[in-house]
Amino acid sequence: MSVEPLLELSGVRAGYGAIEVLHSVDLILEPGAVVALLGPNGGGKTTTLRVCSGIHPVSSGEFRLAGRVVNGVSAAEFARLGVCSIPEGRGIFPNLTVRENLWIGTGTGVPLADLEEVAYTRFPVLGERRSQLAGSMSGGEQQMLALSRALGTHPTVLLLDELSMGLAPRIVSRIYDIVGELAAEGVSILVAEQFARAVLPIATSAALMLQGRVVRTGDPAEIEEELSTTYLGG
């Protein structure tokens, strides 16, 4: 019996104003999968994630979530459907405390006490720093805060954009270990990464995105190899 995809883009086009940047994107996230969206700068990874989180409109094609067509559904409704995203740059508020960031970030009505429990249980360091300004923490701790905010809503789908940005390799691998734990707990994950090697240990498949199209999907290590030798000059 085939499993219905959790998230499915078929022939999706999207852009900014009159400029189309996604040219018929096909992408599938199966339940329990970790799909790495890989590709050079400007290929359309961030726009694809924005479409998947409901904050960027689809101009044509079909976007399905758990079998339901969701073209035009609001971002707030996406959150209620269990889709949660961490944008490039983490989306935290540097001038607010850890606790305030947890409170302000979700918009799903989950009580603060529940958000704090999830955050501090998984990341005790955030509990120690609950009254500290988020902007004064290290990049890795800020990424933990961003992950905590997402986890507090108990998502079924997690959309992650460039988690490695600005972090030392050791911290990147720690953050991806945590993402791997979430996947093992059953969260389905679509993760865009330019630093493809970081995501290889946890990816179940990869999609290579070039110039607004997914040109290939398959084994993460093979796609990373193709990306680094053919497109990034490595």
Q: Which residues contact 230 (CB under 8 A, 6 or more apart)?
A: none
Should residue 2 be labelled a site residue for ligand ATP when binding is judged by CB under 6 A? no
Of 49 and 202, CB closest to ligand ATP = 49
- Residue from 7, 46, 137, 198 that binds ligand ATP (CB under 6 A)? 46
What is the footprint of ligand ATP within residues 122-161 (CB under 6 A)?
none
Of 39 and 54, CB closest to ligand ATP = 39
Residue 53 buriedness (CB in 10 A; 0-12 / 13-18 / 19+): buried
Of 39 and 105, CB closest to ligand ATP = 39
Reading phi first (left if > 0) and then psi (alpha if -120 to 50, else beta), residue 8 is in beta
Number of neighbours of residue 54 by Cβ within 10 angstroms: 24
What's the Cα-to-Cα distance from 9 to each of 3, 22, 49, 74, 219, rounded to whole Å? 16, 11, 11, 17, 20
Of 2 and 41, CB closest to ligand ATP = 41
Distance of closest approach, residue 46 Cβ to ligand ATP, in angstroms? 3
Of 88 and 100, CB closest to ligand ATP = 88
Q: Which stretch binds ligand ATP (CB under 6 A): 23-31, 35-43, 103-111, 182-190?
A: 35-43
Q: Which long-range contacts (CB under 8 A, 24 or more apart) does 14-21 make?
A: 14/47, 14/51, 14/56, 14/57, 14/58, 14/59, 15/47, 15/59, 20/59, 20/212, 21/47, 21/212
Should residue 56 be labelled a site residue for ligand ATP when binding is judged by CB under 6 A? no
Should residue 85 be labelled a site residue for ligand ATP when binding is judged by CB under 6 A? no
What is the footprint of ligand ATP within residues 89-128 (CB under 6 A)?
none
| Binding-site ranges for ligand ATP (CB under 6 A) | 16, 21, 39, 41-47, 194
